[in-house]
C-alpha cells in the first residue's frame, strides 16, 4: 500500500514573513499528517531560512543539473540543496516548460541527476487543452515520461513521484472529470509497469495536480491510482491545505 503524498507548491508567492508563518502553521498539523507525506515547495530564496526550522519536509521548485557547479547564473545546484538538507525537488512543471523553454531531454537529465543524488523527485507531466481535444493526451504524456523512464535505475522508483497536471486545469478552476483522471492515472500506472518490474513499478506514486481544492480533493483521493496531490493556489491557505490533507 503506497502512502499518500501531498506537495504544496507555493510558486512565486508570499512575503518572507507570510512564508515563515504559513510554514510554522503547517508544521504543527500534528496527527493530520501522520498518514500522509507532506512536502512544501516555497519560493527558492526562502529555502535556506525555512530549512533552519525543524518543520515539515521542504522541496525546491527547480534545480539545475546534472552539473554541480559552473557558470550558470541564477541557478541552484543539487549540492546547494544538499547543503541546506533539502531532499525533494520539483522538476518538469508546465510553467518551466512553457515560460523557460525547458525541453523533455533537459528535464529528464535533471530528474536522473536528482534521483541518482538521493533526492525524491516530483516529476510533472500533462497536456494542453488542444492536445486533450485532439485525442492525443495519452501519447503526449507518454513521451514526457519516456525520456525519464528510459534512463532510470529501477532502484530509484521509490523516490519518484509522478505529478499528472493537465495544463488546462492549472490555476483555471477547470478540473477533469473523475473518469478522465482515472483513465490518465491508470494509463501512467500501466507505463510504470511496462518499464519496471512489479515491485519497482508499484513503488512509484502518482499524484494529481491542477485546480485541486478542499472541495474536490476528497472525491479525487478515492480514485484508483491517485496517491495524493500537487497543490498550487490552495496550498497558500492554512485552512485549505489542512482540509486537503485530511481528505486523503
pTM of the complete model: 0.95
Q: How far apart are CA 197 and CA 106, in angstroms?
A: 26
Catalytic entry in 80, 102, 165, 185: 165
CA atoms within 13 A on the CB side of 190: 10
pLDDT tens digit sequence for 107-163:
999 999 999 999 999 999 999 889 999 999 999 999 999 989 999 999 999 999 999
Q: How far apart are CA 42 and CA 158, in angstroms?
A: 23
State which residues form the domain around 134. Answer: 4-247
Residue 162: predicted pLDDT: 98
φ/ψ of residue 107, rounded to 5: -65, -45
- C-alpha closest to that of 84 among 56, 48, 38, 55: 48
Q: How far apart are CA 202 and CA 200, in angstroms?
A: 5
pLDDT tens digit sequence for 158-189:
999 999 999 888 777 788 899 999 999 999 99
Whether 93 is catalytic: yes
Catalytic entry in 80, 93, 127, 185: 93
pLDDT tens digit sequence for 201-238:
999 999 999 888 888 999 999 999 999 999 999 999 99
Q: How far apart are CA 8 and CA 235, in angstroms?
A: 5
Whether 85 is catalytic: no
**Taking a C-beta distance cutoff of 8 angstroms, is the pair 209, 164 a contact?**
yes
Q: Which percentage of the chain shows pLDDT scores above 70?
A: 98
As for how many domains the chain has, the answer is 1
33 pLDDT higher than 70: no
Residue 247: predicted pLDDT: 87
CATH number of the domain at 159, please: 3.20.20.70
Say how many Å lie between the first and final Cα of the chain, rounded: 14
Amino acid at each position: 500500500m503506497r502512502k499518500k503524498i501531498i506537495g504544496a507548491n507555493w510558486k512565486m508567492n508570499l512575503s518572507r514573513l507570510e512564508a515563515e508563518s504559513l510554514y510554522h502553521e503547517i508544521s504543527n498539523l500534528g496527527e493530520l499528517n501522520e498518514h500522509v507525506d507532506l512536502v512544501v515547495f516555497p519560493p527558492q530564496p526562502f529555502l535556506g531560512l525555512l530549512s533552519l526550522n525543524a518543520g515539515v519536509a521542504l522541496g525546491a521548485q527547480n534545480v539545475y543539473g546534472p552539473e554541480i557547479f559552473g557558470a550558470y547564473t541564477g541557478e541552484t545546484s543539487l549540492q546547494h540543496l544538499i547543503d541546506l538538507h533539502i531532499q525533494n525537488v520539483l522538476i518538469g512543471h508546465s510553467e518551466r516548460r512553457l515560460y523557460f523553454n525547458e525541453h523533455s531531454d533537459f528535464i529528464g537529465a535533471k530528474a536522473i541527476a536528482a534521483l541518482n543524488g538521493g533526492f525524491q523527485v516530483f516529476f510533472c507531466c500533462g497536456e494542453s487543452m488542444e492536445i486533450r481535444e485532439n485525442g492525443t493526451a495519452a501519447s503526449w504524456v507518454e513521451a514526457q515520461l519516456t525520456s525519464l523512464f528510459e534512463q532510470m535505475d529501477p532502484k530509484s522508483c521509490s523516490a519518484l513521484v509522478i505529478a499528472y497536471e493537465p495544463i488546462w486545469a492549472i490555476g483555471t478552476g477547470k478540473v477533469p472529470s473523475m473518469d478522465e483522471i482515472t483513465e490518465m492515472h491508470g494509463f501512467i500506472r500501466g507505463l510504470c509497469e511496462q518499464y519496471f518490474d512489479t515491485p519497482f513499478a508499484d513503488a512509484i506514486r502518482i499524484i494529481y495536480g491542477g485546480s485541486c481544492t478542499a472541495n474536490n480533493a476528497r472525491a479525487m483521493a478515492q480514485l484508483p491510482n491517485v496517491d495524493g496531490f500537487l497543490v498550487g493556489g490552495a496550498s497558500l491557505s492554512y485552512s485549505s491545505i489542512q482540509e486537503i490533507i485530511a481528505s486523503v
